[in-house]
Amino acid sequence: MPADPFIASMLSALSSTERQSAWCAFLDRYSGLIYHVVLSFDRDPDRSGNCFLFVCEQLSANDFRRLLKFDVGGRATFSTWLCAVVRNLCLDWHRKEHGRHRIFSSVVRRSATDQLLFELVFRRGFSAEESREELKRRGVDLSFAAVEERICDLRRCLSSRQLWLLSSGKSMLDSIGGEEEGNYVVEPADPAPDPEALMALRETHQHISAALASLTESDRLLVRLRYQEGLTLQQVAKLVGLKDAQTADRRLRDIIDHLRQALGIEHLVRGKPKPASV
């Protein structure tokens, strides 16, 4: 497989005087992938944001030593290699923040598949379908019914206190408990928009894409980190090298003003994506 010229150029720039620009370009392209891996470990917005920040700090530490270890001529693609590196860093962060998880003795006695399923569902909060996909990715192909049955069996082998310990910090058992008690969510019959609405959405998407393309690379990165990845202003400022949260806020307000003018919208929402602390 031919090497990606962007990767080769980026890695070269990371070891030159253009390292800051290259780092911004890296985050612009791969922050979504990094955050996706982070969310597979913890979906709490505050904890996932802190973990994301930790991962990025480690990737940039020691003059980007970790990133520069990638072998451009090797067999693995950069995305695959980066996911493996990020997973290891996520584990490091969780061990540092929470210590190593102690597996209950009732789970230790079960099969390796059940132990993995316990980690996915009761530790990370995966749904039955998400767990099935993750098991399949790791070479364990089970039907949805078999996965559900194993989850219920695992739940039965845990004491009420163990279930409380697992759920008190992250509320990971809500979806399982709801299914067992028959509290199913009723979905609309057809949530898809009609053709006219779909055309309007496409036009809106094109206008927004064009407006975002008019931003500088660093401004697009700020928008992505704040509004797509959901980082706090303090986290954004720290990650991109701004002075403080107030500076990041002013930059983002200027960007929103620019987008408002580019889109011809007088009342573009300037509020924060979520009520997070700065």
Domain locations in the chain?
5-98, 105-180, 195-263
Question: Is domain 195-263 in CATH 1.10.10.10, yes or no?
Answer: yes
User: Does residue 257 or residue 2 have the better pLDDT?
Assistant: 257
Q: Which amino acid is at 276?
A: A
The C-alpha atoms of residue 40 and residue 33 are separated, in whole angstroms, by 11
pLDDT tens per residue across span 30-42: 988 898 888 877 7
CA dihedral 24, 25, 27, 30 (to 10 degrees): 180
Residue 166 contacts residue 122 (beta carbons within 8 Å): yes
Number of helices (H) and strands (E) in the chain: give both, helices first: 14, 0
Match domain 5-98 to its CATH number in 1.10.150, 1.20.120, 1.10.246, 1.10.1740: 1.10.1740
Q: What is this structure's pTM?
A: 0.51
Average pLDDT estimate for 86-91: 88
Task: Out of 105-119, 168-182, 207-221, 243-257, give the one with best mean pLDDT.
Answer: 243-257
| Residue 113: other Cβ atoms inside 10 A | 15
Question: In the numeric block, which tokens belong to residue 142?
Answer: 């089970």
Average pLDDT estimate for 100-119: 76
Residue 135 contacts residue 147 (beta carbons within 8 Å): yes
